[in-house]
Chains A and B, each alone.
Chain A
Amino acid sequence: MNATTSTRDVAGRPRLDFTVLFARFGTLASLIALLIAFSLARSDVFPTVNNLLNIMSQISILGTMAFGLTVCLVMGLFDLSIAAMATLGGYVATFLLVQYPDTVGVPEAVAASLITAALIGIVNGLIVSYLGISAFIATLATGSIITGAVLGISDSKTIITGIPDEFMAIGQGAIFGVSNPILIMLAVGMVLWLFLEHTQLGRHLYAIGGSAEASRLSGIAVKRYAPLALAICAACAGLGGLMAAAVLGAGRPQGVGDGYLLNAFAAVFIGASSLRPGKFHILGTLIGVLLIGVINNGLSVMGVPTYWQYIVQGTLLVAALFSAGILTMRKH
Chain B
Amino acid sequence: MSSANLAPVPISPIGTGRSQTVGDTFLEVVGLVKQFPGTLALDHVDLTVRRGEIHALLGENGAGKSTLIRQICGASQPTSGKILIEGAEVALHSPQAARGLGIAVVHQHFNLAPQISVAENLFLAGGLPRRAGLFVNWPEVYKRSHALLARVGLDIDPRQEVSQLRPDEAAMVAIAKAIGASAKLIILDEPTAALLPAEVGVLFGHMRRLAAEGHAFLYVSHRLAEVFEIADRVTVLRDGKNAGHWTREQMSRRSIIEAIVGSQKSFSEEAADPPAQFGDVLLSATSARGGRVVEMSFKLRAHEILGMAGLPGSGAEEALDLLYGRYAMTGGKLSVRGAAVTLRSPRDAKAAGLALVPKDRHAESLLPAASVRENISLPNLDRFLTDPVLRLIRRHKERTEAERIGRLLSVKMPSVESPIQSLSGGNQQKAILGRWLASGAKIFMLNSPTAAVDIGAKAEIYALIRQIAADGAGVIFTSTEVEEFPRVCHRVLVFRDGRIAGELLGKDATEANILNLAAGGGE
Contacts and interface: CB of A to CB of B under 8 A. Distances in A.
Bind each other = yes
Interface of A: 1-14, 194, 198-201, 203-204, 206-207, 210-211, 213-221, 278-279, 331
A198 B421 contact: no
B395 interface: yes
Contacts of A8: 36, 38-39, 41, 62
Interface residues of B, number: 46
Could you say which of A6, A201, A207 has the most chain B C-beta atoms within 10 Å of its C-beta? A207
Given A214-B364, A214-B366, A219-B379, A198 B395 contact: yes
B423 A3 contact: yes
A217 B61 contact: no
Contacts of B369: 210, 278-279
B378 A9 contact: no
B38 A198 contact: no
Contacts, number: 114
Given A200-B382, A217-B356, A278-B369, A6 B350 contact: no
B392 interface: yes
Nearest to B380: A218
Given A214-B365, A219-B379, 11 more contacts: A3-B423, A7-B424, A8-B62, A200-B391, A206-B374, A214-B367, A217-B364, A217-B365, A218-B435, A219-B351, A220-B378
B64 to A, nearest CB: 9
A207 B38 contact: no
Interface string B358-399: 100001111111100010001101100100001111010000
Contacts of A220: 347, 378-379
B422 A219 contact: no
A198 B393 CA distance: 5
Contacts of A198: 392-393, 395
Contacts of A5: 41, 62, 66-67
Interface string B427-456: 010000001000000000000000000000
B367 A217 contact: no
B139 interface: no
B521 interface: no
A4 B62 contact: yes
A213 B346 CA distance: 10
B491 interface: no
B412 to A, nearest CB: 10
Nearest to A221: B347
B421 A210 contact: no
B370 A9 contact: no
A13 B393 contact: no
Contacts of B347: 216, 219-221
B346 A217 contact: yes
Interface in B304-360: 324, 326, 345-347, 349-351, 356, 358
